[in-house]
Amino acid sequence: MIDLPEKKSRFRMTRRRLILGGSLIGGALVVGYIATNPMQVAGAILQGGGDDPRPSAFGPFIRITDDGWITVVNKQQELGQGIHAGLAAIVAEELDADWDRVRVVDSRSNFRAYGPQMTGASNGIASNWDLMRNAGAAARAMFVAAAALRWGVPSGSIDIRNGIVSHLDSRRTATFPELLADASRQPPPDSPMLKQPADYRLIGTDKVRRKDSLSKSTGAQVYTQDIQRPDMLVAMVAHSPRFGGTLARFDASDARKVKGVVDVFATETGVAVVAETTFAAWKGRDALRIEWDDSEAETRSTHELVRYYHDIAAGRSDVEPAEFDSKGDDSEVPFDDDVADFAFDFPYLAHAPMETLDCVAQVNGWDVSITSGAHLATVDQVYAAFAARTIPGKVDIEVVPAGGSFGRRGVLSSDYLVECVRIAKRTDGRPVKLMWSREDEIASGYFRPMSHHRVWVQLGRDGFPTRWRIHSVCQSLLPVGPNSLATEGITHSPYFSTASTVDGKIFTPTFPVVVGLWRSVGHSYTALVMEHIIDQLARRAGLDPAAYRRVFYEKVEDKRRLAVLDELCLKAGWGTPLETGWARGLAIHEAFGTIVGQVAEVRLVDGRPLVRRVVAVVDCGIAIAHDQIAAQMEGSIGFGLSAALYGAITLKDGIVQETNFDRYLVLRMNEMPVVETHIIASTSRPTGMGEPGVAPIAPAVANAILALTGQPTSRLPFLDGNARSNTDVSAQFNG
Amino acid sequence: MSYAISVNGQVHHVEDDGQTPLLWVLRDTLKLSGTKYGCGAAQCGACTVHVDGKPMRSCTLSLERASSARITTIEAVEGADVRAIQDAWVAHDVPQCGFCQSGQVMSAIALLRTVEKPTDRDIDLAMSGNLCRCATYNRIRAAIHDAASKLGTPT
Amino acid sequence: MSWRASAFGNWRRRLKVGVLSVLGLIVVVGAGGLAYALYPRTMPQTQSIEIKLQPAEVERLRLASDFAAIADLNERSVALFEEAGRVIQHPRCMNCHPQTDRPTQTDAMRAHVPWVTRGLDGGGASTLRCSTCHGDTNFEPSGVPGNPTWMLAPIEMAWQGKTLGDICRQLLDPTRSHMTREELLRHMTEDELVGWAWHPGANRRPVPGAQAEFGALIKAWLETGAACPP
């Protein structure tokens, strides 16, 4: 009995060693392979069992056909920002294609073929810049090689312009279709020669225009809402009116009596009504009787949450802060009496894209086929697979343009898409279109979070900050990791450069109201915090706000910000007089690598800010599509001004009070200011343009109001209660 | 109940509840999806159609009422002014996400049919019932002026 | 050399910038999704729930006969008009008697959204008529109220911002009300658009009483000398 265990243990040791050694080597191999081939591994995991797109000799993003058309595959989500044209222009530039013969198709979801498909953080151009340049340049090299071979001339002597391949000395030319067969057989080069910005013929010219304007002006463009499939059903879901509420009981007897209603059942997110038509589903849903279990639900009202946030910032709660920025340590040193202190409150905001959330899904055994304006196709594919209990490779997402999103379709839980797949799992293979009403969309959460900020700034004798303390309260914008997005735009601010100590803390409360990403994310309020404080500090110091900013930018040697500031002052006529009653406000903010400066011309009528003109200057690196940059600037200002004037989601006993555009007000035609956009010439890598223009408009208006009245802004929106209604602006402009 | 409804010059017989909004008859029954649902409460104008030549919001027009009128949708609205407006829309690259633009175009056509040379004030008055979350308003305004002046120029 | 290698070339950069964070995100999403998908839960089935009818609170109007006890004719007349004022100054009526070119809406009497103007005839601007949205009847699916003569009262008949006494004197002034006393009585008792206020549809709060009761109050007020509150 004593020997045996020894023997056994020796034997076990050997086996353990064997397993250990083997798994170590195996593990190292696996880790090594994954580390060196992460995309292939991810592709195999995510697309395993699925189909790949039709192969093209010119790679996954370019198809050239013998009718002379060049088709660029857009792997990003087109939600209005014009990404399809930007990516196509990069390809066409490197390929020297004829822009008028370039068209764009949206890709389906496929990580193996296209890599990650995630549209967000204004990264569409920035993250695909190298990919698209290389794809275009490689295809070009293949045509050059084919022509060189055919004509027996060195490849260096061959030129391509506007889709015509030519050899100058022998005056020979050929079109892409003429060389297509030969070029397709050429090996794609490993690292093709890329153009220098000085050699661009298309990028940065007015030729780069949208490709979808006609179809979007004639009603021909198909969105998810427009999808019709044979035998298709339409579903609507009754959701809990409170965040965190769950379904207790429901009575479907009346709903089932509605003509056209096919099925009614409980699903994870509420009660689904499935019908032959949208209106039948609508009436069926209206006829439901539901009782919700609110034991875990959020039942507070907005004013209670605001008070809670103030308590948190004052340390009167159990929410522990985390540091987001720090320099030196002054926690023990009290502030002087003349400390400048500020408090800001920002509301929840809904996205309210013109197309509400919708999705078409069909589940056939293992196969799931989805049509949707999917924002994060890669994430959506994974979540849809789990919802349908299949593998991601079996989920095929046909990505169609979205009727706006502003971040609502880009949520890291794919909420509406998962809801649709779950319903489609119960319709015996019939395709289902999930429709959300406007009321559903506005109350559905994934809001721009509400936040509170307490700021103390100690000023030196020269009027510049020596100490900053910023304590912010905001729910986490991401499901995991530090809450860094909440303070983006404050963290590492150039305005900290004159201070010897910085104490930046973020408090992250958790409760059931769902927050998410809203166009410009944290910048949507941090720009106001920083830029409005700076104007107030400049007033204290008796300095011009532009001159005051220049000191910080020079101190950190930020040439880009300085260039934006100078151009902005020049183009906006900063310092020149305006008519009585009008004032200018200036703000400059960097978001997603892009620097935007805006000057707003503002007047107050009955306490309402009226904005007639905004001059904007942007440095977004190499400007690919000038007209689209201007379009994004106009749209961003309209979107940001909408929120600044009216935007607020308010809760009463936990229930969202805004239901439709009559209470969740957005800017209308008569309130839109004139926008002038100026682009700083640059040869740096392009940066994003979809969101950065949103951030500076609120502080620009607040700074103009400060100039007009001396009154600082400490909360948004500017208008509340009964003042929250669209107004007749144009009649006031000349009055 | 069955209703005979004249849409784009064609009479359709629709079997449905008379209180069904025309919007859903167009989209679900007649498969004319150019007319969009945006709010369902006459707040956004994305569902604008022409009823006996007048712009109306199809989300708040019952099938019953619509059956006594001639309906024209974005798919079939035509004329020199329609072409001028759509050309101007393309020339100015008005659309971004584009979802509201069917309604914008239908309202703009109706505007030019009422006022030949609209002022900025006329445009404000006519178009403020049409929302655009991408805020393409300035381009819409420019395109309407552009189309009006092209139509006014004899060719 | 394959396309994949070229398309995803420049490994070091991509690895540094995006790939790891993307992969990290996918792993997190995957794990979270899996946990969520496999989390066992049971779904409630349909069951019978009784309809709980909220007893609709009907606001009553005092009848004209209730005022007979007031001996002083002038006093009775004023009292009758003050009772009628509960209808006149109700948001259902006031919303279409604005003092600007723009109607108001809801019980909070907020400015009408979208922004609209009265136009030349009170039926909206020529390019955005009331009838663009408002039909002949209330339309339940959209919640939009309607009436065949949906329009604003002329600006001379503005009630908002005025006291009941001012409104009273304005009603009796034919240059502002454009009505003789007989026409005024007919407007109040029979006008269909006025009658809408008792059947506003959706979740709108109707004005108190019934149109006939209101008409009787107006009639009695006129018959008692049409005295106005101060």
Interface touch C117/B125, C-beta < 8 Å: yes
B110 with C127: Cβ contact below 8 A: yes
Identity of residue B60? T
* pLDDT tens column, C103-121: 999 999 999 999 999 999 9
Q: Let me know: does B46 contact B78? Beta carbons within 8 Å.
A: no
Q: How far is C176 from chain A (nearest CA, A)?
A: 26
- A68, pLDDT greater than 90: no
B-chain CB neighbours of C145 within 8 Å are none
Q: Which of C12, C22, C52 to mutate to test the interface with A (most CBs of A within 10 A)?
A: C22
**Neighbouring chains to C with at least 3 Cβ pairs closer than 8 Å:** A, B
Helix, coil or strand: residue A267: strand
Give me the mean pLDDT over the A91-99 stretch.
86
- Which helix (H) or strand (E) covers residue A459, if one does? strand A451-459
| Mean pLDDT to the nearest integer, C116-142 | 94
Average pLDDT over residues A251-255: 95
Q: Which of C132, C134, C142 sits opposite B21 (nearest CB)?
A: C142
Helix, strand or coil for residue A203? coil
* pLDDT value at residue A493: 96
Please check the confidence at residue C21 and state whether its pLDDT lies above 70: no
Please, what is the average pLDDT of chain A?
90
Superfamily grouping for domain B80-152: [2Fe-2S]-binding domain (1.10.150.120)
| pLDDT surpasses 70 at A563 | yes
Amino acid letter, C198: W
Domain B2-72 has CATH 3.10.20.30: yes
Quote the pLDDT of residue A724: 66
Q: Residue A398 burial (CB < 10 Å; 0-12/13-18/19+)?
A: middle
Q: State how far residue A64 is from chain B, nearest Cα, in angstroms.
A: 26
| pLDDT (average), residues A236-256 | 96
Per-residue pLDDT tens over the stretch A674-703: 999 999 999 999 898 989 999 999 999 999
CB A586 within 8 A of CB A598: yes
Interchain contact B138–A (C-beta under 8 A): yes
Q: Which of A211, A150, A233, A234 is nearest to A185 (CA)?
A: A150
Q: Which residues contact A80 (CB under 8 A, 6 or more apart)?
A: A401, A402, A404, A635, B95, B96, B97, B98, B134
> Nearest Cα to A202, choosing from A372, A88, A342, A54?
A88
Picking from C25, C33, C102, the nearest residue to A386 by CB comes out as C33
A134 with C9: Cβ contact below 8 A:
yes
C131 in B contact zone (CB under 8 Å): yes
Instruction: Supply φ then ψ for residue B74, to 5 degrees.
Output: -55, -30
Test C139 with B128 for CB contact under 8 angstroms: no
Mean pLDDT is lowest, of B67-81, C54-68, C131-145, for C54-68
Name residue A705's amino acid: I
Q: Are A38 and C15 a contacting pair at CB < 8 A? A: yes
Question: How many A/B residue pairs have CB atoms within 8 Å?
Answer: 184
Taking contacts as CB-CB distances below 8 angstroms, the residues of chain B near C139 are 19, 21, 60-62
Q: What is the percent of chain B with per-residue pLDDT over 90, rounded to a whole number?
A: 96
Best mutation target, A37, A39, A52, to test chain C (most C CBs within 10 A): A39
Q: Subunits with at least 3 CB pairs below 8 A relative to chain B?
A: A, C
On whether any CB of chain B is under 8 Å from the CB of A217, the answer is yes
Say yes or no for a CB contact (<8 Å) between B137 and A638. Answer: yes
Q: How far apart are CA A230 and CA A219, in angstroms?
A: 22
A residues 77-136 closer than 8 Å to B (CB): 79-82
Task: Please state the rounded mean pLDDT for residues A432-440.
Answer: 98
Secondary structure (DSSP) of A670-682? GGPPEEEEEE---
pLDDT above 50 for A618:
yes
Q: Which two tokens stand for residue A258?
A: 């509605």
Chain A residue numbers with beta carbons less than 8 Å from the beta carbon of C46 are 250-253, 264-265
State the pLDDT at residue A1.
Answer: 42
The pLDDT tens digits for A348-405 are: 999 999 999 999 999 998 999 999 988 888 888 889 999 988 888 889 999 999 999 9
Q: How confident is the model at residue A203 (pLDDT cuts 50, 70, 90)?
A: confident
Distance from CA of C153 to the nearest CA of A (A): 20
- Top mean pLDDT of A131-145, A221-235, A677-691 is at A221-235
Which B residues in the span 86-105 are in contact with A, Cβ-Cβ below 8 Å?
Answer: 86, 89-90, 93-102, 105
Is the minimum CB–CB distance between B120 and chain A shorter than 8 Å?
yes
Question: What local confidence, expressed as pLDDT, does residue C46 receive?
Answer: 85
Indicate whether B140 pLDDT > 70.
yes
- Minimal C-alpha gap between B92 and chain C (Å): 23
Candidate from A188, A247, A382 with C-beta closest to C3: A188
Query: Which residue, among A222, A669, A733, would best test binding to B if mutated, counting the most B CBs under 10 Å from its CB?
Result: A669
- Identity of the amino acid at B102: S
Task: Name residue C179's amino acid.
Answer: M
* C28-A83-A632 Cα angle (round to 5): 105
Distance CA A510, CA A473 (A): 11
Q: What is the pLDDT of residues A271-293, one digit of tens each?
A: 999 999 999 999 999 999 999 99
pLDDT confidence of residue A8: 47
Question: Among C43, C109, C111, whose Cβ lies nearest the Cβ of A266?
Answer: C43
Count of other CB atoms within 10 angstroms of residue A68? 15
End-to-end CA distance of chain B: 50
Amino acid symbol at A194: L
Q: Which of A451-460, A496-505, C29-38 has the lowest mean pLDDT?
A: C29-38
Closest CA relative to residue C147, chosen from C161, C137, C160, C159 = C137
* Nearest chain B CA: its distance from C108 CA (Å): 18
Cβ contact, residue pair A130, C10, below 8 Å: yes
> Which candidate from B46, B94, B97 shows the least CB-CB separation from A79?
B97
CA distance A706 to A718: 13
What are the phi and psi torsion angles at C195 (to 5°)? Answer: -60, -25
Check residue C172 and give its pLDDT: 93
- Subunit contact C135:B61, Cβ cutoff 8 A: yes
- Among A526-530, C24-28, C195-199, C206-210, which stretch is predicted with the lowest mean pLDDT? C24-28
With CB atoms and an 8 Å threshold, state whether A352 touches B133: yes
Q: Which residues of A touch B43 (CB under 8 A)?
A: 438, 660-662
Q: In terms of Cα–Cα distance, which of B130, B132, B59 is closest to B97?
A: B132
- How close A611 comes to chain B (CA, Å)? 14
List the single residue in B41, B57, B115 with the smallest CB-CB distance to C127: B115
Beta strands in chain B (DSSP E): 2-7, 10-15, 48-51, 54-57, 70-72
Torsion angle in degrees (nearest 10) through CA of C72, C77, C79, C82: -160
Write out chain B residues lying below 8 Å of A371, CB-based: none
Give the orientation angle of helix B137-152 with respect to helix B120-127, to 10 degrees.
Answer: 120
Element (H, E) at A341: strand A340-346
From A442's Cα to the closest Cα of chain B, the distance in A is: 10
Whether C15 has a pLDDT exceeding 50, the answer reads no
Min distance B70 CA to chain C CA atoms (Å): 15
Residue A602's H or E segment, with its range, is: strand A594-605
Q: Which residue of B has its CA nearest to A233?
A: B28
What pLDDT score does A489 carry?
A: 94
Could you tell me the CA-to-CA distances from C171 to C149, C156, C165, C176 in Å, in that order?
Answer: 20, 10, 10, 7
Distance linking the first and last C-alpha atoms of chain C: 95
Q: Which residues in chain B are classed under CATH 3.10.20.30?
A: 2-72
Contact yes or no for B97 and A662 at CB 8 A: no
Distance from CA of A340 to the nearest CA of B (A): 37
Judge whether residue C34 has pLDDT over 90.
no
Question: Which two structure tokens, joined as six digits, stand for A176?
Answer: 């892409």
Asked whether the beta carbons of residue B57 and residue C133 sit closer than 8 angstroms, the reply is yes
Mean pLDDT along residues B117-133: 95
Residue C36 has pLDDT above 70, yes or no: no
What is the rounded CA–CA span in Å between residue C120 and residue C106? 24
Name which of B21, B65, B129 is nearest C128 (Cβ-Cβ).
Answer: B129
Q: Chains with 3 or more CB pairs closer than 8 angstroms to A?
A: B, C
Model confidence at C12: pLDDT above 60? no
Range(s) for CATH 1.10.150.120 in chain B? 80-152
Contacting C residues, span 140-179, partner chain B, CB-CB under 8 Å: 140-144
CA dist B102 and B64 (Å) reads 24
Instruction: List chain C residues with CB under 8 Å of B110.
Output: 127
Asked if B13 is an interface residue toward chain A (Cβ–Cβ < 8 A), one would say no
Percentage of residues in chain A having pLDDT higher than 70: 95
Helix, strand, coil percentages, rounded to 5, for chain A: 35, 25, 40
